[in-house]
A = this chain, B = another copy of it.
């Protein structure tokens, strides 16, 4: 195992807390607070916070710390909508360039997802969801598209995690993945386009309700 810098440890830890909702949107944090919590100096913390700020997971408030980014419903829908549009480009290219080995990995991913849903391992469901998309990004054979898609994927992770907490929705998502897989397998451009559209629309339909629940949960946790 590679030895990691404190900066990257702080980054990973903080990022996972933000994505999981442990640090909920709107929460204010400071360099010292994080440094003390993790028992390191401010230097690696600063650098991790700056990276997260650049990735839009945090917002820097001049001379007053940082806030956990809290997207409005409108911005979340914008994010999902346009991520899908850009994924359309990547997925179409992927369907031209994907190898049998990669198709096999996708197939395995679907099987594992089915099992994870059955066993109720929500964290793993989301991890597999992310992996599914990422395999296809890679198969597009474009550094540019990979980078952009990965970045947008990161921004949606938090919300996808919450969506997958609802069993019906993770099942629905799996169905879409299967449809996407089959479209790529048969190189059916039309069907692929439609499957992706459906995949994004289902998120857009449900995300508002999920966000409302998430916010009220965070609120009551705060109060009592």
Q: Which residues on A are within 8 Å of B, measured CB to CB?
A: 46-47, 50-51, 54, 56, 75, 78-79, 81-83, 85-86, 89, 142-145, 147-148, 151-152
Contact = CB atoms under 8 A, between A and B. Distances in A.
Contacts of A89: 82, 85-86
Nearest to A145: B82
A144 B152 contact: yes
A143 B75 contact: yes
A144 B78 contact: yes
Q: Considering the complex of A and B, which 5 residue pairs feature the smallest CB-CB distances, nearest first?
A: A82-B144, A85-B89, A79-B144, A82-B145, A78-B142
A187 to B, nearest CB: 19
Contacts of A152: 144, 148
Contacts of A145: 82
Contacts of A148: 82, 86, 148, 151-152
13 contacts: A50-B50, A50-B51, A56-B147, A79-B143, A79-B144, A82-B142, A82-B144, A82-B145, A82-B148, A86-B89, A148-B148, A148-B151, A148-B152
The interface centre, meaning the residue of A46, A85, A152 with most chain B CB atoms within 10 A of its CB, is: A85
Contacts of A47: 46-47, 50
A110 to B, nearest CB: 27
Nearest to A147: B56
A107 to B, nearest CB: 27
Contacts of A51: 50, 54
Contacts of A142: 78, 81-82
A78 B89 CA distance: 13
Contacts of A143: 75, 78-79
A164 to B, nearest CB: 21
Contacts of A50: 47, 50-51
A71 to B, nearest CB: 9
A147 B82 CA distance: 11
A144 B83 contact: yes
A201 B54 CA distance: 31
A144 B154 CA distance: 13
